[in-house]
């Protein structure tokens, strides 16, 4: 995560000039590649120390079924998407042609490596479901760059500490699926004209998904929300630095009025 955050800083440095993919800027290329190597090394050592160390076994495939009510699959999709998008934009900043394809390939290779290592770990195993979500997330930024209609959809994340996390049940908040919500945000192009005329241009809607009470296997409930959402890229400001900041903000779903639709209806003045 530290390396990913560093690479978002690289993206924001586009303020100097527009990306030019006809000329490779080798100093930028070296910086991006070094940061990418750091990200891969960080991911390896974090996973090794947390999961793989002293847990080696013969390779096996493990079908997780409905583990965490699907929240883990959304997590795999989102973080593969985030990695792929940041890498694609970073290499675009460096002047590399087909940068989003390169970003997708690196994200795919990284996630494949992690899944294979999981396959040699006693308590984990290679999960086809996780790997499928990894592939979809890694491919999404490339496809969005290739097919304009896909830009009507954006994927976001929000975090609000659950009671179990606050009680010390998890080492990090990323380990707690109950603390994390995933959102599918819709571009205003998909909204009825009536709504577009009465709402500010940067306001849109998103569908959210979360889970609760999943500590014990086979238990828990899914939550589905509909919420207002903010499209920061519709705010004023057209400088390359400002555009980069707005894009980075769009990785996150910020607190907004919402309605929980299932398992029961609840209205939120602000849903985090």
Closest CA to 64 of 111, 124, 112: 124
Annotated domain spans of the chain = 1-146, 151-272
- The tens digit of pLDDT for each residue in 232-264 reads 999 998 888 899 999 999 999 999 999 999 999
Global pTM exceeds 0.75: yes
**Could you say which DSSP state residue 218 is in?**
T
Give the per-residue pLDDT at 16: 43
List C-alpha distances in Å: 152 to 11, 36, 101, 148, 206.
Answer: 22, 29, 20, 8, 12
Give the per-residue pLDDT at 29: 96
- The tens digit of pLDDT for each residue in 191-216 reads 999 988 999 999 999 999 999 998 76
Give the per-residue pLDDT at 2: 42
Ranges of the chain whose pLDDT falls below 70: 1-22, 216-218
Q: In the structure, how many helices (H) and strands (E) does the chain have?
A: 8, 6
Strand order in the sheet with 180-186: 153-159, 180-186, 203-212, 221-230, 256-262, 266-271
């Amino acid at each position: 995560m530290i390396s990913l955050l560093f690479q978002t800083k690289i993206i924001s440095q586009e303020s100097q000039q527009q990306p030019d993919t006809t000329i490779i800027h080798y100093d930028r290329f070296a910086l991006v590649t070094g940061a990418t190597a750091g990200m891969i090394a960080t991911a390896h050592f974090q996973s090794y120390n947390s999961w793989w160390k002293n847990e080696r076994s013969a390779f096996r495939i493990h079908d997780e079924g409905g583990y965490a009510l699907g929240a883990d699959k959304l997590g795999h999709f989102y973080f593969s998407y985030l990695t792929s998008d940041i890498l694609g934009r970073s290499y675009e900043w460096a002047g590399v042609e087909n940068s989003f394809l390169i970003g997708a390939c690196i994200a795919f290779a990284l996630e494949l490596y992690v899944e294979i290592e999981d396959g040699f770990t006693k308590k984990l195993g290679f999960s086809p479901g996780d790997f499928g979500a990894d592939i979809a997330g890694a491919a999404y930024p490339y496809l969005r760059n290739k097919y304009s209609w896909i830009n009507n959809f954006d994927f976001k994340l929000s975090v609000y500490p659950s009671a179990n996390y606050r009680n010390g049940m998890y080492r990090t908040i990323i380990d707690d699926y109950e603390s994390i919500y995933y959102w599918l945000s819709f571009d205003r192009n998909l909204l009825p004209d009536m709504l577009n005329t009465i709402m500010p241009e940067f306001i849109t809607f998103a569908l959210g998904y979360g889970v609760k009470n999943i500590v014990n296997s086979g238990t828990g409930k899914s939550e589905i929300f509909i919420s207002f959402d903010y499209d920061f890229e519709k705010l004023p400001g057209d400088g390359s630095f400002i555009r980069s900041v707005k894009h980075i903000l769009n990785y996150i779903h910020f607190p907004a009025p919402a309605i929980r639709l299932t398992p029961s209806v609840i209205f939120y003045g602000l849903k985090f």
